Structure 1
Amino acid sequence: MEKNIVRVWPATHCPLTNRSDSEVIRSVDLSNFSFDREGFYWIYKFGAGEQLLIVTDELFNNSDIWTSKRREIEFLLHQGRWPKGVKMMDSNSLLALISSSNIPSSPIEKLKEVIYYFKSVSEFFGQTLYPKDNFHYKEHLVKKTGMSNPSELERIIYTCIELGYVKDEGSTKSTFPISLTLKGWEEAEKFETQKSSNISFIAMSFDPEMIQVYNDWIEPAIRESGFEPYIVLDQHPNSDVTINDAILAGIKKAKFTIADFTYHKSGVYFEAGYALGRGQKVIYTCRKDHIGTAHFDTRNYQHLVWKDGEDLKRKLMDKIEVFIKS
């Protein structure tokens, strides 16, 4: 029986920007790739870069997502977090990517993105930057830092000045010259350390049964995913360093935290909350026979519910791939 050919067509326009010019709508050879659903493709242009977008027919025509999630989608694209290569997205996978990407939403999170960006484009400490002239202010910088509009970015920059992270170098409002202060540079380095860390902090019960699960399944899952596990049990703190000090230091060093709520130890709730409060990504896990008694303050978070070590390892590696690496 002849196999049905699933076609992906050039879009008539970009549903995010509504552009339909030749830079956005142009032919791309996808003949060597197969798809399981029909869809559309187009080129998203930003700054000096571009991204091929391939989406299902259902997502292309889902105007609610393109409208209500516009800021989040733009952030993913301008941060380079949209899946690379020839990969088709549907509504469910896009919403999952948005929910798992730690997109800045609060003023503090957006402020950190701005400071980090200014450091990344500074060739030396004290360099005067001209955000409105040099960084595709409206077309790129606003979207890359997760802002809703240019006015919000301007307000965040003024807040950075008020807090001493950024120095106003004077001149006119139209050129908006600024430079990072030492305080701002230090804050950006803290944020950068967290972004570039390859450490995963593990919060869990130290019941002998769970230690075995850690040794046989959790640690291998983390290492095989390309990260280094940090568990206080392994650190053997010096006598002048308390266990709590070691825990907090570990969370601060980590890129993300894995919190397993099997046996519902109070320390795990504290450590997960501390990591979350620092703006860190937290992966919640719990063995199937314990999920029913999870505390109310974590029930709103999606848990990886596992039945055995092998199941936990597989789910952890899948979650790290989508939630942490994307």
Structure 2
Amino acid sequence: MNKKMVYVNFVEKVQSNSDYYKWGKPSPVGEIEKLLAYFGLDFELSHFINEMHLNNLRKLEYFIDNNASDEQLAYISQITTKGTKIPEPSIESQSSEKVFISMPMNKTLYNDVEDIRNSINEAVKNTNNIPYFLDKDPHNDNISIKMLQEIRDCKFLVAEFSYQNNGVYYEAGYAKALGKTVIFTCSRKHFENIHFDIKQTQFVIWENYDSLKENLKKQIIESNLS
């Protein structure tokens, strides 16, 4: 998908609403800010409406160019071309007992995906929680919309960062923006590659699959999430 065209089409759409884009009516917070929030991204608020919207569009452009998945690009395109509405998280909704597991799923790229999955699966189950893996859930929805909905509804999220997967960074950030507890895990041999923005966060560091299972289980219990 052409990232530049996705961005340009969205810009044309929001700028066509001059009341919102130029004058901030009925509210300065509109489609740009809602889309950033939907993707778990910060946005600027200011009395200088034009400057604020321009800066927020720059944040969106950076996300589209560098971090957005194909599903997320398709979703932005749907907003532009089909008038898809951006869903708003329900603050009052009850969390399920499911724990969203964010990790790479591509067995072709990563030959130990199933070993990591099995260790996380056992750790979560052994704390009386229900692990949820998006790729194991048959559905007929747009996968990006489905993923965001499941994160909104989850009890907490486990983010496995060993392979520096952009999707894991995004999903963990979105969960944090919603106020969800996120447990970060990473193998010791890959920890030096963790982005500096989150490297000071507490991580469950593991040496092998057994230590991943045991250390994650301990962290969940000590976080009062069992």
Q: If the length of structure 2 is used for normalisation, what is the TM-score?
A: 0.56
Q: How many Å apart are 1:189 and its aligned residue?
A: 3.4
Q: How many Å apart are 1:215 and its aligned residue?
A: 4.0
Equivalent residue for 1:198?
97
Equivalent residue for 1:216?
118
Q: How many Å apart are 1:213 and its aligned residue?
A: 2.0
Higher fraction of strand: 1
Q: Distance in 2 between matches of 1:317 and 1:249?
A: 25
Q: Does 1:319 align with 2:219?
A: yes
Deviations 1:101-120, CA, capped at 9 Å, x for gaps: xxxxxxxxxxxxxxxxxxxx
Larger RCO (alpha carbons 8 Å, 6+ apart): 2
Cα 1:242–1:314 shift into 2, 3 Å: same
Tell me the SS of whatever aligns to 1:200: strand
Equivalent residue for 1:265?
165
Cα 1:215–1:268 shift into 2, 3 Å: closer
Deviations 1:31-58, CA, capped at 9 Å, x for gaps: xxxxxxxxxxxxxxxxxxxxxxxxxxxx
The residue correspondences of 1:220-239 to structure 2 (distance < 5 A) are: 220-238=122-140
Q: Distance in 2 between matches of 1:313 and 1:223?
A: 10
Equivalent residue for 2:208?
308
Q: Distance in 1 between matches of 2:130 and 2:113?
A: 17
Equivalent residue for 1:91?
none
Q: Does the CA contact (< 8 Å) of 1:287 and 1:307 recur in 2?
A: yes
Percent of aligned positions that are identical: 31
Which runs of no fewer than 5 residues in structure 1 stay unpaired?
1-185
Equivalent residue for 1:151?
none
Q: Distance in 2 between matches of 1:286 and 1:257?
A: 14
The count of residues paired between Structure 1 and Structure 2 equals 135
The residue correspondences of 1:167-206 to structure 2 (distance < 5 A) are: 189-190=92-93, 193-194=94-95, 197-206=96-105
Q: Distance in 2 between matches of 1:270 and 1:188?
A: 20
Q: Does 1:244 align with 2:147?
A: no
Q: Please tell me the root mean square deviation across aligned C-alpha atoms, in Å.
A: 1.9
Deviations 1:179-232, CA, capped at 9 Å, x for gaps: xxxxxxx96632xx12xx311001111142343124431111111111111111
| Aligned amino acid, residue 312 of structure 1 | L
Which one has a bigger Cα radius of gyration? 1
Q: Distance in 2 between matches of 1:233 and 1:248?
A: 14
Tell me the SS of whatever aligns to 1:298: coil
